[in-house]
Structure formats: structure tokens, C-alpha cells
Amino acid sequence: SAVISQKPSRDICQRGTSLTIQCQVDSQVTMMFWYRQQPGQSLTLIATANQGSEATYESGFVIDKFPISRPNLTFSTLTVSNMSPEDSSIYLCSVLGGAGGHYNEQFFGPGTRLTVL
């Protein structure tokens, strides 16, 4: 399984500002994903980030609000732009991995807990 780290682990931000979350993987991976977990809720996919192509966003999420970079096979960033209190959530990155050539499961980072005041 891949080892995934995220920075920062948590932050408290003022409304109207932006925060960039970093996701680092200890091995090269093709597919990375960003999820949001709002307080007391389940996880919702924000976007899929593949190296060498533009991120693809799910319904309800737009690039202007959540720009994503994927400069190489071990790193990605998610920016939460022009934040409002409704953006207070845990943001998690994940990577597609597996064993025996069967890459069909996702491994998750520890998450970034964001509070917007």
C-alpha cells in the first residue's frame, strides 16, 4: 500500500482567503483523487487528478473554486479559493493502488481539517 502524507494537517482560515493543501505519495501513481468530508457527513469526490492532464471535476465542484495541480506522479495540490464557512471540512487525497497488477483500490491520506471563520 502507498504511504500518503498531507500538509497542513489542519488550519483555521479567514473567509475570503485561499488555502493550498499538499498531497505527497511515497511511490509513483497514475490516478489521484480529492474528496471532501463535511462535518458529520460522508465523503464526496471533488475531482480526479491524473498526471499530464487537466483534473476532471464532479458535479457541483468547479475549477475556479478548487483548482488542482498534478505536476508529477507523486504529488498533487488542491486549493480552496475564496473560502466561506461552508468550506469547513476535512479534505482527503487518495491514490489508486493495489497488488498483483490489480489497481482497483484507493489508499487515503490522513486528511486536512479546515475551519473557516
Binding stretches for other proteins (CB under 8 A): 4, 31, 33, 35, 41-45, 48, 58, 92, 94, 96, 102, 104-111
User: Strand runs (DSSP E) across 26-74, as ranges?
Assistant: 31-37, 43-50, 56-57, 68-72
Measured from the CB of residue 72, what is the shortest distance to other proteins in angstroms?
20
In whole angstroms, give the CA distance from residue 45 to residue 57. Answer: 8
The one-character DSSP state at 53 is: S
Grid cell 462535518 in the structure block, residue: 39
Q: How far is the CB of 16 from other proteins (least distance, A)?
A: 28
Q: Residue 97: how many CB atoms within 10 A of its CB? A: 19
Task: Name the residue nearer to other proteins (CB basis): 19 or 95.
Answer: 95
CB of 68 to other proteins, least distance (A): 15
Task: Give 33 or 66: the residue with its C-beta nearer to other proteins.
Answer: 33
